Structure formats: C-alpha cells, structure tokens
Structure 1
Amino acid sequence: MRSVELFAGGGGLTLGTHLAGFTTEVVAEWDRWSCDTLRENRDGGYPLVRGIDVQEGDVRKVDWSTVPSGVDLVSGGPPCQPFSAGGKGNAADDKRDMFPATAEVIRELRPRAFIIENVRGLTRSAFSDYYSYIQLRLGHPELVANEGESWGAHYSRLQAEHTSVRSDLQYKVLPTLVNAADYGVPQQRWRVFFIGFRSDVDAEWSFPEATHSAAALRAAQDDGSYWERHKVPKKYRTPTVRTAALVDGPHKPWRTVRDALRGLPEPTLNGSTKYLNHVLQPGARSYPGHTGSYIDAPAKALKAGVHGVPGGENMLRNVNGSVRYFTVREAARLQTFPDRYRLHGPWTEAMRQLGNAVPVMLAEIVALSVREHLDVATFNAAKKAATDRRKARKSATA
C-alpha cells in the first residue's frame, strides 16, 4: 500500500509503516540532520527506506500535486513544541504548530487513512478546545479556514457545520492516548494518536490492545525470573515498579532498559566495530531532579531537549547509582530502531532525532492494524461490487 509521511524526523514512523507493509514514496522533513539520516540509510541500501524521495524543507512548500492519486496512508508527527510540557504551550499561536498544514496535505492527497502522532501534553485541559479543533479539522479537511479567520472562529464554524456538512471528503477520527511501554517499547513514552479513516472506507477500527504491563514486570521481579534471566547479583535485586504484582491476563512484563541493551558491549570512547553509533559520551553527572533512567525499569521518555533534558532522560542509572549518557545506539534500542539503521550527525543531533521519533515497534503495531482494516475494506468493497455486477446482469437478462 502507498503512503506519504510528513515531519519524518529520523525515520521512526517511516520504518514502522514500512514494516507494516506500506511503501512510503515521499517523506517531508525540514531538519537537515534528519534528512541526512534518511538519505544515508537509503543510499546505503537499507531496505526499509529504499527508494524514498526525501523532501527537505517546509512541508507547506512541497508540491504535493506531483504525487499520483491513490495514496492509502498519510502519516506524520507534527512538531510537539507548541504542546509539550517543557515548552511555552502557545498551541495555535506557536508558528511551529503544523496541524493546519497536516490537514491541508490530507485535503490534497485524499488518503484512505491517516496516522498522526503527538505528545501527551496536547491532551492537557489548557488545550481542550484546540484538541477538539484538531479532530474536527482533520475530520473535515475541505472546510478550510477563511482568509484572516482565527482558529477559534474556524472552530466555531466547524462545530456548527460538521454534523450537516455534505463535503465529499470526510474522515472518522479516533484519538487515543497510549503508553508505548504497554506495547513492548522499553520506555515510558505517552503519546496521543489521531487515526482517521475516509468516510467511504468501511472500517470498524479500534486501537490495538496493550500487550505488556507494569504488573507483569513486578511479578517477574518478585518471583526472581527477571533477575535470573539477566544474571543480576542478589544484592541488586530490587523491584522497580510500585504497582502490585497482580495477574492481569496474558500481558507480558514491561521491557526494561536492561532488556533493551542486552547483547550490547559496554561503550568506549573509540566506539564499536560491530554496532553503529555505539560510542561513549563522557561527562554525565547526577543531581537532584536529574537522575537518569534506572536500568531495571522502562526508560524515561527520551526528549529532544533544545537546552538539554532536565530529568536526565538521556542518561543510564545503574544499580550501584553510577550514571553515564546513553550512546546513540542504546537510545536507538530504547526507541526500537534496528541496529543496522545509522543515525547521522554528532551525539547531540542524533539524540535529538531519537527524542523526536515515534518508537518503531509502536509505529508498526498501529500501522499494521490500520493496514489490516484497509485490506478488509478493500476486500469487502470488491465483493460488493462483484455482487452488484451479478445483480445487474441478472436484471438485464430478466
């Protein structure tokens, strides 16, 4: 199935949608380091990005009319800074707010479905009206704002018109807030997804069920199976999650930093000849509020951090209390990027790409679910068309 991606960053969502069977044709991204990552892997023959057209620059300036009709999916993660808890929270008043631009691309390409991702901060009560506006804007991409119309006025008009509008391009939008750790990602990463299906696509979709849980990790640490698997000395066997070890169905244990880094050698200043981007970054230190991610729990959410990351999200905290920075490869493991995928640029820029990325595993799970529903809708539509043709032939010969 054909897809196009906006705000691609270093490629997390791109890789996940490819793994789910979508063939991304165009990716748009303004950051040159991210574009270099995509091009370097493409030109190096990495199969999941082979043949992609990397459009470097403002997504609003891409000539989308050159993309042939029939796109199945538009995916993307608009910049999160307007809604991030670490930002100023200016939402629509932040020039980096790209939700209107996203809706414009959807209007032009008319995909059968879309997957749009952003930070949990977007669901804060301070943004409740804008959160609702985004859903209506994505659901009715042809109801564009008038010249000089504020988003608030546009929102009021969308509220008044969306129940009676007869536009031929409408989407059923399903927003869902999820924790990536609940889907096997070794990281506590809360994100909101907007999944949309075009109104003519018969898809009864719901977000995939969680597969992992904190309770299952606590149970594995309490019964010792987690520690035995990793050969952790008994003096360091301290449970890391506060939840009770309840039986909660077929859930697997949350994956921890130790799980993610298994098999990687300790990093050195000279790097590794076997693993890409696995070079020790010196200088890490711990202080109150800046303690890093504990090795026997899912990592804190990696952050891009223009001025650093205040919680030490880019640091590993070991059982003896020592800390060090994650290597780029270790951070890539936490974001479930493949080991053969190279992140371009110095440590700060590579970590920024990873901090902005969608975990590949979560992207694949969501995209695969969307694709399965598109496949079923395609099959049902073909079946109905065949039935209608038979009825027409029978009526013509009666």
Structure 2
Amino acid sequence: MSDLEEGRLEVGTSVELFAGGGGLAMAVHNAGFRPLLVNEFHKRACETLRANLAVSRDKSDRTVSTGEEWPLVEGDVRDIPSFDFLEGRVDVLAGGPPCQPFSLGGAHKGTEDERNMFPQMFRAIREMRPKAVICENVRGLLRPSFEPYFNYILNEMRLPFVQRDDRVSWEEHNRILEKSLKEGSVDPSRRYEVYPIEVNAANYGVPQIRHRVIIIAFRADLTVKWEEFQPEEEYSEAALIHSMQEGGTYWKRHDDVDDRVKEQVIDRLPPMLDVPDGKKPWRTLRDALKGIDWEDGTPAEKPLPEVLEHHLKPKSPADRVVGGVRDHVAWPGARKYAGHTPNVLDRPAKTVKAGVHGVPGGESVMELDDDTFDEGKGYRYMTVRETARVMTFPDRWVLEGPRGEKMRQLGNAVPVKLGEIFARAVAAALEDASKRKRK
C-alpha cells in the first residue's frame, strides 16, 4: 500500500480534469474519493502524476476503474471523445481550468484565449452528471472586465444541459440561461446549485497568501445543504501578530531563532489588536520549513535541512538530494530591488506563481536570518522542496522534470491543504444529503 493510501477511508468516486502536478487531485484523494479518471495535458506534469499514483490509459478506454491507482489519460481534454461512460458513477468532478486567460500575470485574453477550458468543464458536467463539482481558479475572474463572463460560467454550471449552439455567442447563450433560471421550470436532476467562494489560502492554514475563487456545485435534486458545511476561515493575521509578541506562542515553537532576529521581527509588527479574534495564527514560511502542519505543535514533517553554499545548482541528480530530501538545493542569481522584494520567514509566503525562478515580485526569493549565504547577500531563491511545502505538498510527493518545470507545476497547483478542506466538506455535505434521503 502506498504511503498516500495509508489510513484513507473511501467516501466516493471522483474525476479530475486539468490535474497539473496533482494538488487538487491529491486533495480530493485524501478526502476519500477514488479517482475514476484523471486528465492532464503537459508532459512533465504527467510524469509527476505517474511517479506517484497514476497509471496511463488510452483516451478511448471506457473501462470504469475499480482500483486505487489513478487512471491517467494524457493529452488535450478536447481529444477525449466522451465522458458518457461515467454518467451516474461520479460523486465529485474536480478541476482547475487553466488560469492564464484570466490571471493578473497572463495576457488577459479571457474568453478569446484558446487556453480557456471552461467549456470543457461544462461538457464534462453535462456528460457525467456528477453529484458535485469543485472548481478552482484565479481571483482575476472577479475583475470588472471579466465579471460578465464569470456570471456566465456560473450560469453554465447551473444549467449545463442547456447546450450552447456553436453559432451562438456566449453572451446570447447567457441570456437563454438567465431566462430559463428565471422561469424556474428546469428539472432539478438537470440543474445545479452553485456557490462561488473567494478565499485566501492563508485563512485556511496554508503558509501562503494566495487569493483564489473556489466554485462548489451540487446537483439540485440532491437537496444538499451546503451552507451547513462550507468551511470557515480558522486562521488570521491578527492571531499571528498576537502570537508574535514577546513571550508569545510563536517564539516558543521557534526557540532556536536568534534573539537579534526575534527583536527585529517584533519591532516590525503592526499594532496588535486589543482583543485576539479566537482564530489560529496564520502559518508562516518558517513554520512550513519546520514541518507541514502545526495543529498541535508537533511537525508532521521533519524540519528541512539547512541549504549550504555548496548546494548551489548541483551538476548531477544525486547531488539534488540534501539530507535525504529531494529537490532541496539552492539556485544562483537571486536579486532584490524595488518591487522585487523577498519572502520573509515570519509571514506567510507570497503567492507561488508558475514562473521559473525569477518571477515578478520576488515570489521565489527568501530573506535569510543572516547574510552568510551566496556572497553575503542574505537572501536566495527558495528550493523546489521549500516551495512545495508552501503549497502543502507532502515531502513524499515526487515532482518530475527540470527545476523550472517543477516550479511551474507548483505555481499552477491548488494548495493540497486548501483543496482537502473543501473536498472533505463536500463529502460531508453529500453524506448528509444521502442520509436525509434514506429516511
């Protein structure tokens, strides 16, 4: 049995589209859903999936998987002839359609961008009729310029069986959808209740500021009471500030930090709120490097070993393992300047982006406690493994490809912890609906 299977209780089945390096797929899997099909286009991401739990299968194979391995269909989702062999068998359809058309860092082409894969999500919903859908994308969808199309996305998910004619624009089709919704005459088994949720991953225990939109949908005939199960934000910046005061709990778990560094951090803290908000402190980059999760004060992963000068850009694969940890090596050439400032250890990391290692804003550069590294700079690029921890990927998850491709996979991923929180909530909501129906 794989380490990723141990102690896992199955609660249903799933399909994952646009799986990338596996963040959301792993989250749904961890929540207990057994994948019937996983799809990804990019070669290196497919290599990563196969290095972990996936096994390749042909796009024309209509066998419904009953095993624990992930059946991976590699290639463009548009080339999969049909999903109808999965109709009625899928509890959760999950996926994050490529975000570049709507990302702040992209070309902002939106609906005109050939990478816009939302129409394929609509097709999959129509052909599979899943009980629930989990869809993640960038907050850029909420920008005023994209707001009309975002509303259309929600309406398409509400009425996926009202199929758009190729000769009809999305604006015209949206008017048809809005009319049908207003009339309220659509069979509940062919309609979905849709819930868009704007999230900051840091508020859910991820050691990273990452603003995203998560769209949850349930087939209307199931009468799911999502409002009773939607996850609450349990972490806050105010609680972190409170924990960082002199003698606070933050420093008790980081008692190896030099007093000089601790004093500098405390001096830079914003004013403390008079009353703590009762939430848990945001998790920081330093927390992530010490161990994936600090729920009870005990790391779930071992602290990452120190990155040393001679770990810069190793020549052979064997040299890329530091202290038994894969992909934990430094990279030369880190810079900082106005508008390109590093991550600091005692805050959540900046948003991990799908760049190589010099993405705008210094998102993959890290400020160190001292200035002894890389000719006295006092900062360096984060290692792939440090970045993976910021994305809450477990150390046992193998990433394939050159360094830049690994970073790209991580930047495109859903933080595993964030995805798992929502996947578990969806599982609980479906189970509750099933119990009420049996009574």
Tell me the residue number matched to 1:297.
Answer: 347
Alpha-carbon distance change, 308 to 373 in structure 1, aligned in 2, over 3 angstroms: same
For the residue of structure 2 that corresponds to 1:116, the secondary structure is: strand
In structure 2, distance between residues paired with 1:69 and 1:148: 30
* SS, match of residue 154 in structure 2: helix
Task: Quote the Cα distance in structure 2 between the aligned partners of 1:336 and 1:351.
Answer: 14
- Alignment partner, residue 244 of structure 1: 272
Q: Secondary structure at the match of 2:190?
A: coil
Deviation at residue 324 of structure 1 after TM alignment: 1.0
Match of 2:305, as an amino acid?
A: P
Q: State the match for 1:366 in structure 2.
A: 422
Deviations 1:263-308 (A, max 9, x none): 1012324332511221222221212211221111000000003794
Query: 1:99-156 CA deviation, whole Å, 9 max, x = no partner?
Result: 1110110110000000000001111111111111110011110112112211111112
1:159 Cα offset (Å): 1.5
1:387 matched residue in structure 2: none
How do 1:70-149 residues align onto structure 2 when only pairs under 5 Å count?
70-149=89-168
Equivalent pairs: percent with the same residue?
A: 46
- Structure 2 residue aligned with 1:382: 438
Distance 1:369 1:70, change over 3 A: same
Return the alpha-carbon distance in structure 1 between the equivalents of residues 352 and 274 of structure 2. Answer: 28
Between 1:73-82 and 1:314-323, the stretch displaced more is 314-323
Amino acid across the alignment from 1:291: T
Please list the CA deviations of residues 190-245 of structure 1 after superposition, one character each: whole Å capped at 9, or x if unmatched.
11011001001121113311111000100011133223421222222214654633
Aligned partners of 2:48 and 2:398 also within 8 Å: yes
Letter in structure 2 aligned against 1:344? E
Q: Residue in 2 aligned with 1:278? A: 328
Which of 313, 318, 323 aligns to 2:368? It is 318
> Counterparts of 1:1-398 in structure 2 under 5 Å?
1-42=12-53, 50-62=68-80, 63-67=82-86, 69-164=88-183, 165-167=185-187, 168-206=189-227, 207-225=230-248, 226-230=250-254, 231-237=256-262, 238-239=265-266, 242=270, 244-262=272-290, 263-267=303-307, 268=311, 269=314, 270=319, 271-305=321-355, 308-320=358-370, 322-383=378-439
* Partner-residue secondary structure (3-state), 1:115: strand
What CA distance in whole angstroms lies between the structure 1 residues aligned with 2:269 and 2:106? Answer: 28
Maintained 8 Å contact 1:217/1:241: no
Aligned positions, number: 379
Moved more, 55-64 or 236-245: 236-245
In structure 2, the gaps of 5 or more residues are 1-11, 56-66, 291-302, 372-377
Cα gap change, 1:145 to 1:248, in 2 (>3 Å): farther
Aligned-partner Cα distance in 1 for 2:75–2:275? 50
State the one-letter code of the partner of 1:20: A
Contact residue 342 and residue 366 of structure 2 kept, 8 A: yes
Contact map agreement 2:180 2:186 (CA 8 A) in 1: no
Structure 1 residues 231-240 or 260-269, which shifts more? 231-240
The letter of the residue matching 1:184 is: G
> In the superposition, relative to structure 1, how do residues 125 and 320 fare at CA in structure 2: closer, same or farther (>3 Å)?
farther
Separation in 2, partners of 1:31, 1:201? 35
Secondary structure in 1 aligned to 2:397? coil
Q: CA deviation at 1:37?
A: 0.3
Distance in 1 between the 2:159 and 2:276 partners?
A: 39
Q: Is the 8 A contact 1:175 1:194 kept in 2?
A: yes
| TM-score using structure 2 length | 0.83
1:166 counterpart letter in structure 2: V
Residues 296 and 306 of structure 1, relative CA distance in 2, 3 Å threshold: closer
Instruction: Look up the equivalent residue of 1:61 and give its one-letter code.
Output: D
Report the CA distance between 1:320 and its aligned residue: 4.2
Report the AA paired with residue 315 of structure 1: V
Report the AA paired with residue 234 of structure 1. D
Residue 69 of structure 1: CA displacement?
A: 3.1
Displacement after TM superposition at 1:68 (Å): 5.9
Moved beyond 6 Å, runs of 4+: none
Q: CA RMSD of the aligned region, Å?
A: 1.9
Q: Distance in 1 between matches of 2:148 and 2:271?
A: 34
Write the distance in 2 (CA, Å) between the matches of 1:323 and 1:245.
31
Question: Could you say if the C-alpha distance between residues 242 and 138 of structure 1 is closer, same or farther in structure 2, counting changes exceeding 3 Å?
Answer: farther
Provide the C-alpha distance between the structure 2 equivalents of 1:141 and 1:70, rounded to a whole number of angstroms: 17
Secondary structure of 2:121 counterpart: helix
C-alpha contact (below 8 Å) 1:215/1:243 kept by paired residues:
no
Aligned to 1:118, the other structure's residue is in SS state strand
CA distance in 2: counterparts of 1:242 and 1:107, whole angstroms: 50
Distance in 2, Cα, partners of 1:296 & 1:349 = 27
The 3 A distance-change label for structure 1 pair 102 and 190 is same
Q: Which runs of 5+ in 1 are unaligned?
A: 384-398
Give TM-score, length-normalised by structure 1: 0.91
Return the letter of the residue paired with 1:12: G
Q: Does the C-alpha gap of structure 1 residues 55 and 241 become closer, same or farther in structure 2, counting only changes over 3 Å?
A: farther
Give the corresponding residue for 1:388.
none
Q: Contact (CA 8 Å) 2:356, 2:405: kept in 1 or not?
A: no
